[in-house]
Amino acid sequence: MNIGFDGKRAANNLTGLGNYSRSLVLQLSEFFPQNQYFVYSPKVKSHGQISSFFKKENIHLMLPRKSSLLWRSFGIKKQLKQDNITIYHGLSNEIPIGMPSSIQTMVTMHDLIFLRYPQYYKFIDRTIYNFKSKYACRHADHIIAISEQTKNDIIKYYHIDPSKIEVLYQTCDDSFKQLIPQDFKEKIREKYSLPQKYLLNVGTIEPRKNLLAVVRALPAIDPAYKLVVVGKKQPYAQKVMAEIQRLGLEERVIFLKDIPFSDLPSIYQLATVFVYPSFYEGFGIPVIEALYGKIPVVSATGSCLEEAGGPYSLYVDPHDFTALAKAVNTILADPDLAERMKEGGLSFAQKFNTPVLASQLMNSYRNMILPA
């Protein structure tokens, strides 16, 4: 079977949807090598992480045969037919317009945050996102939602028949699933001058991620613990910095940026607690990364994060930084609780393991092409 994918992010992005796209295709290529996987992208980024992905024998980079600004939405269809694609999978909320009936279409919907929190998006951006997402949900033969929360949002905002939507969770990169030797972690600690005791927050520094809540909780948390933040700064970071200064926390908050992906698992596993009080997520891969690293997680109610973190993580209202501080202090003060969270979290994370998710997705593909 020839399976095609929207590969713009797989071929160009080194975080987020890029990692998701490459991980998904790699899973399939390794566990189901009898198929051919065609990754369509208007261009490709020169980077080792991406070039190694395309070295797999059954993963093929497909660039436009005729250059066009609208190739991903229109021009790609002729190419898909020429390549004898059986199923085309839009990996990030969109599919080409007017797909031929001979090709089955699937779309992965990550979230509809632009509808729940429109204030975080420019008008033109959310208009485009809404058009593409609505079209994909209404015209794809099958929809993959990455969480029950996303499925519920698709039903609520686009009035899609629930029977058309299947929840298939995501996983994180396999590098987070290996416990790093202590001597290597200490080299990473030295490389970034990391403290002996710290809380960790990972994610773009933007309003939705709610880093302000962590900063405001910090004065009530044991002062022996610093806060390490890994993420790209957006304008919201200025508010965070102002709050840090107002609270006199300049010596307790450390910002890291442009961290090589290979160093990130060690930074997780050196942390004492992972804090992720996001207002809203489609899923929350950083939570999975922490669970695999045996790091206790404190996260937020109100979206899908309880699906990702499971019963061995703690959850607070994202507006309540006092509750956030209390949850962190509860873990710091109770080593037995911390150990139960580590072991239980790791056990829970196995439901997101690569072989499980790859098999679920391949079953979805097969069901699409079975005679009715």
Distances (CA, A) of 139 to 82, 135, 167, 283: 22, 6, 18, 24
Q: pTM score, two decimals?
A: 0.88
Do 17 and 155 lie in one domain? The reply is yes
Number of domains in the chain: 2
Do 145 and 231 lie in one domain? The reply is no
Do 119 and 259 lie in one domain? The reply is no
pLDDT score recorded for residue 371 = 63
Q: At what angle do helices 16-31 and 354-369 cross, to 10 degrees?
A: 80
Q: How far apart are CA 160 and CA 157, in angstroms?
A: 8
pLDDT score recorded for residue 372 = 55
Q: How far apart are CA 81 and CA 83, in angstroms?
A: 5
Do 236 and 361 lie in one domain? The reply is no
DSSP string, 234-289: -TTHHHHHHHHHHTT-TTTEEEE-S--GGGHHHHHHT-SEEEE--S--SS-HHHHH
- Which CATH number covers residue 49? 3.40.50.2000
Do 293 and 181 lie in one domain? The reply is yes
* pLDDT tens, the chain, 372 aa long: 999 999 999 999 877 788 888 888 998 999 999 999 999 999 999 988 899 899 999 999 999 988 777 898 998 999 999 999 999 999 999 999 999 999 999 999 999 999 999 998 999 999 999 999 999 999 999 999 999 999 999 999 999 999 999 999 988 888 899 999 999 999 999 999 999 999 999 999 999 999 999 999 999 999 999 999 999 999 999 999 999 999 999 999 999 988 988 999 999 999 999 999 999 998 899 999 999 999 999 999 988 999 999 999 999 999 999 999 999 999 999 999 999 999 999 999 999 988 888 899 999 999 998 865
Q: How far apart are CA 258 and CA 256, in angstroms?
A: 7
pLDDT score recorded for residue 23 = 85
Q: In a 3-state reduction of DSSP, which class is residue 71?
A: helix
Do 21 and 127 lie in one domain? The reply is yes
Do 8 and 124 lie in one domain? The reply is yes
CA atoms within 13 A on the CB side of 129: 18
Do 227 and 334 lie in one domain? The reply is yes
Do 222 and 347 lie in one domain? The reply is yes
pLDDT score recorded for residue 48 = 84
Do 125 and 231 lie in one domain? The reply is no
Domain carrying residue 192: 174-352
Do 143 and 282 lie in one domain? The reply is no
Do 135 and 192 lie in one domain? The reply is no
- Give the β-pairing of 2-6 and 165-167: unpaired
